[in-house]
Every structure is written in structure tokens, then in C-alpha cells.
Structure 1
Amino acid sequence: MEGGGGSVRRSVEDVFKDFKGRRAALIKALTTEVEDFYNQCDPDKDNLCLYGLPSEQWEVNLPAEEVPPEIPEPALGINFARDGMQERDWLSLVAVHSDAWLSAVSVYYGARFGFDRNDRKRLFNLMNELPTIFEVVTGTAKKQVKERSTVTNNSSSKSKSGGKSQRTSDSQPKMSKLVQPKDEEEGQDEEEDEEHGETLCGSCGGIYTAESSDFWIACDVCENWFHGKCVKITPARAEHIKHYKCPSCSKRARI
């Protein structure tokens, strides 16, 4: 997003779109592309920062030289702690700082584009609807979804007859291994729709909605669901995959 100089004014939706693009990029760096990110954070190099770009691409680079910078800068020197911590703890720390940076950038744009109280509140509510990067990286978001699904299951089972088998409350919704969410069969149980709506992509953290036409695929190892585009799997390619492993599970298998 370009600066807000002169008479240019961006909307809340513009800033939120910028936020989502940067967020998706950072989540990729810390999940599906974590091996590449880890290798780029060499502790022997100078202070490095993790940047998420609106185009959903990320980069590890030196901080901006100009003072003050065009937009707030990410946490400095994340590479120095890489070998001094457990990898999981280090990634969690980077995730927390990434969340703080995303908020700072959005607040900066809100101020620069002259958002009033209502605009700022609407922007915050839009941002707050999505799980934080920390929640996605640590799996906290998935646990929260399971807890909500358990409450939904318990509530629904009291009012529904036993004609259909109920899902276990400790698992993600089972649509099918390969799924086009919009093509679900008519007459599907309301409970299934509610649970599907709480499914998160294990890569970008996006929430499944019945209205979406996005292609999804489930990992046969960790049972997490992913947008096909996030793990670079097309419906045609998926037809030839008997047992799919997501990037994280594939990496663990190699280790």
C-alpha cells in the first residue's frame, strides 16, 4: 500500500486487505515455508527482520535505512536467537513480534488516512475476527476451534434425533479428503455446516465457509485441512494422491 500523502485516502477495507496479505505471508514463512525461513535467519549475519508483503510474499532482510522509515519496522535481529532457543519457542517468539508489527502497520495507516473512531473500531473488529499468527503457529487456534465444536456438538445433540452418526468432538470436520466446499450435498446436517465453518486452514489460518468455492485438502498424517492454493495442490493433481502429507509432516518425515 502506498503512503497516504496529499489528498489520497484509503478505506478501512483497503487497510484490511493490506493486513490480510501481510498476515498470510508471515504465516507461510512460519509454517509451510518454515525450512526456507529458518535457513535465511543465519545468526552470523547482521540484524535481520521478517517482512510480510501485501502480495502474500515474505522476505528476510536488513531493516530500512531511512529514518523515520516509511512504515513501522518489524522486530530487529530475530536471527540472533535462532540457535539459542528451541525451534518451536523461537518461531513462537517471531510470531508474537509479527502480530505486534501487523497491528502497528495497520494503526499507522489508520492514523495517516484519517480514520475516525468508528473506522478504527471497524478495522480492529475485522482484524480480530482472524486468529493471530501466534495462535496459528502454536496450534492454539485449532484448540479453540475444537472447544467451540465441542460446545456446538453438545448443544446440537440435545435437539437432534439419533438418525445420523455424530462426529467425535476432538476431531476436525470430515468432509472428504479432497473437497470443493461449495459442492456439498443438499440436505447435509446443519451441525456439519456449523463445524465446517469453524475449520481453519493449517497454512494461512483462513476459516472455511460454505459460501467459498476454494478447493481444500486434508493431511492424512496430522488431519489438518489446507487451501489447495496454500500447499500448491490442484484438484487435478489431488486425484492422483493416495495419501497426502502436508509440508510440515513431510519435513518431519525427512528428519
Structure 2
Amino acid sequence: MDVGSGPYNPRSVDDVFRDFKGRRAGIIEALTTHVEIFYQQCDPEKENLCLYGFPDEQWEVSLPAEEVPPELPEPALGINFARDGMEEKDWLSLVAVHSDAWLLSVAFYFGARFGFDKNERKRLFGMMNELPTIFEVVTGTMKKQVKEKSSATNHSSTKSKPNSKVRGSESQPKYSKGMPHKEEEEGLEEEEEEEDEHGETLCGACGENYASDEFWICCDVCEKWFHGNCVKITPARAEHIKQYKCPSCSNKRARP
């Protein structure tokens, strides 16, 4: 398994962080959007298998590297053996935890290899720690947005977040040229509170934060929110969906 060789070698903190984000995105895709394919590839009858994430946001289930020691730290070995001996959600959570540990080990391997000092290592960890862990994304342990659910009920035909569609020229300004009127002040305060609450929400596919200029959609089954782009749903298409199921919930089926 040739994971770290070739012309690609991150040498700065920003390079290593980009590498981290790419590998992380690939693994999150395997454990969420492509979970059915991932599940099938982790056949317990096969040899020890590992889940690899790559800098280009791709993922692969494969055998570990043959050379010892390998070019990069190896992911958890034999993830496929526990597949049928655990509840699927527990197994996926376990893979997610080990994947988080692997990403950290790869990032700090690069840091050690290229001589990052204390401040550079601290900066690197801080940047990585700003993102939710794979475990948090997969298990949905992020904060629930109660007000979003009530808002979603009011917009059940689309299940999209209030104010989440792209704002265009039709948006009305909250301030007049002079001092804002009382009604405008109250509306502005409500909008600011709503945006603060929404800002804590993370996409169930990519794990990134909510942004007010993006279209989002909520799964009726797991109640997770997703970027429309991440699940390939447009605002126009959402208008015709009575009950939306995310890719993970759509692919779930009874396990033997």
C-alpha cells in the first residue's frame, strides 16, 4: 500500500493541515455517504484490512503496507473482523475513533519528519482541533438544534434551514439609512440569535460548520443536517421531496 510516497510531501504546517483535511474528508465519506459500499468491502472472510484516507479526499479499504516499517503510520489493522460481531453503529463508531487516532499520528509524523518546533506543533494541533472529530461526525454527538427542528416543521416541504438558501438581491436590508426603527432592531436581534445557534450545526457528510449563505437539508430519519452540495440536493429538488432520507439512511438495510 503506497500511502505516502511520490512527489507529494507536506512540509509546512499549512501543508500538513491540508493533508489532514483531505484524509479526514475521505474517511468521513466512507463512514457516511458511502457507508454501504464501505460495509460490503469490509468482509470478515478477507485478510486484515485497513481504512485509508488520502489527501485528495478519496478513501480505500486495503491490506496494510508490506514493508516494515511503512512509509507512514498504518491505520487500525483488521477492522473487518468485528463487522458482524457488533451493532453496525457501534462498529462504525469504533472505526471512526481509530481513524481519528490515525489522522493525528500521520500529521505528527510529518511534523517530526520535517522538524516542526513546539509552536508549529501547537499551531497544527490547534487547527486540527477546530474541526469536529470523525467520531463526532459519524455518531452525531454534536449539539442538537431544537429551534431548527421547530423551524423545520414550519418548512416541512423542503426541510431546509431558515435563511439557509443563498441570499440574493431580493434580500431586504435590515437597516434604513438613518437609525433603525424598533421593528428593524428586533428583527435584527432575532436573526443574529438564530445565526449564532445555526453556526454550531455541523454537516453530517463533511463535518463543516453551517453557513448562512448555504442551502441545507435535514434527514427525516436521523435528523442530521447536510449541505445540499454534499448530498446532491438543490433547493428546487427539495421542494418536491415529502420525506428526505440522507444517503446513509437510504442505504441501510436489515443485516443478517
Quick check: TM above 0.5? yes
Summarize the Cα distance change of 1:186–1:99 in structure 2 as closer, same or farther, 3 Å threshold: farther
| Bigger Cα displacement from structure 2, 10-19 vs 236-245 | 236-245
Distance, in Å, in 2 between the alignment partners of 1:40 and 1:185 is 51
Task: Tell me the CA shift for residue 182 of structure 1.
Answer: 5.0
Indicate if the aligned counterparts of 2:25 and 2:206 stay in contact, CA closer than 8 A. yes
Q: Which amino acid aligns with 1:203?
A: A
Q: 1:197: Cα distance to partner?
A: 0.9
Does residue 180 of structure 1 match 2:165?
yes
Correspondence 1:196 to 2:198: yes
Q: CA deviation at 1:173?
A: 6.7
Partner AA of 2:68 in structure 1: V
Alignment of structure 1 residues 23-172 onto 2, 5 Å: 23-140=24-141, 142=142, 145-146=143-144, 168=146, 171=149
- Tell me if structure 2 keeps the 8 A contact 1:41–1:82: yes
Deviation at 1:171, TM superposition (A): 4.1
Structure 1 stretch displaced more, 84-93 or 230-239:
230-239
Q: Distance in 1 between the 2:48 and 2:220 partners?
A: 39
Q: Aligned-residue CA RMSD in angstroms? A: 2.8
Task: State the partner residue of 2:181.
Answer: none
Unpaired runs of at least 5, structure 1 = 150-167
Letter in 1 for 2:84: D
Structure 2 residue runs of 5 or longer lacking an equivalent are 175-187
The normalised TM-score by structure 1 is 0.78
Q: Which amino acid aligns with 1:87?
A: E
**How much has 1:9 moved relative to structure 2?**
6.6
Question: 2 CA distance for matches of 1:55 and 1:233?
Answer: 23
1:61–1:226 Cα change, 3 Å: same
CA contact (8 A) 1:173 1:196 kept: no
Whether contact under 8 Å (1:24, 1:204) holds in the other structure is yes
Rounded to whole Å, the distance in 1 between the matches of 2:66 and 2:167 is 48
- Count of residues paired in the alignment: 227
In the TM superposition, residue 248 of structure 1 has moved relative to its aligned partner by 2.5
* Matches of 1:173 and 1:109, distance apart in 2: 45
Amino acid at match of 1:192: E
Answer yes or no: is the 8 Å Cα contact 2:36–2:248 preserved in 1: no
- Find the aligned partners of 1:9 and 1:35 in 2 and give their Cα distance: 32
1:241 has 2:241 as partner? yes
Q: Which has the higher contact order (CA 8 A, sep 6+)?
A: 2
Shift of 1:227: 1.5
Alignment deviations for residues 149-174 of structure 1 (CA, whole Å, 9 cap, x no partner): 6xxxxxxxxxxxxxxxxxx4584875
Normalised to the residue count of structure 2, the TM-score between the two structures is: 0.78
Give the Å deviation of 1:244.
2.2
Letter in 2 for 1:23: R
- How far residue 53 of structure 1 moved from its aligned partner, in angstroms, is 1.1
Do the aligned residues in 2 keep the contact of 1:23 with 1:133 (CA within 8 Å)? yes
Q: 1:172, 1:224 within 8 Å by CA — same for their partners in 2?
A: no
Q: Is the 8 A contact 1:172 1:223 kept in 2?
A: no
Alignment partner, residue 19 of structure 2? 18
Q: What is the alpha-carbon distance in structure 2 between the residues aligned to residue 173 and residue 4 of structure 1?
A: 50
Name the CA distance, whole Å, in 2 between partners of 1:121 and 1:52: 23
Q: Sort the Cα spacing of 1:91 and 1:214 in 2 relative to 1 into closer, same or farther, 3 A.
A: same
Q: Which residue of 1 aligns with 2:207?
A: 205
Q: CA deviation at 1:61?
A: 0.4
Classify 1:169/1:227 alpha carbon distance in 2 versus 1 (closer, same or farther; 3 Å). Answer: closer
**d(CA) in 2 for partners of 1:241, 1:70:** 47
- 1:133-190 deviations in whole A, cap 9, x for unaligned? 11122221x2xx23xx6xxxxxxxxxxxxxxxxxx45848759634435557654521
- Structure 2 CA distance for aligned equivalents of residues 10 and 173 of structure 1: 46
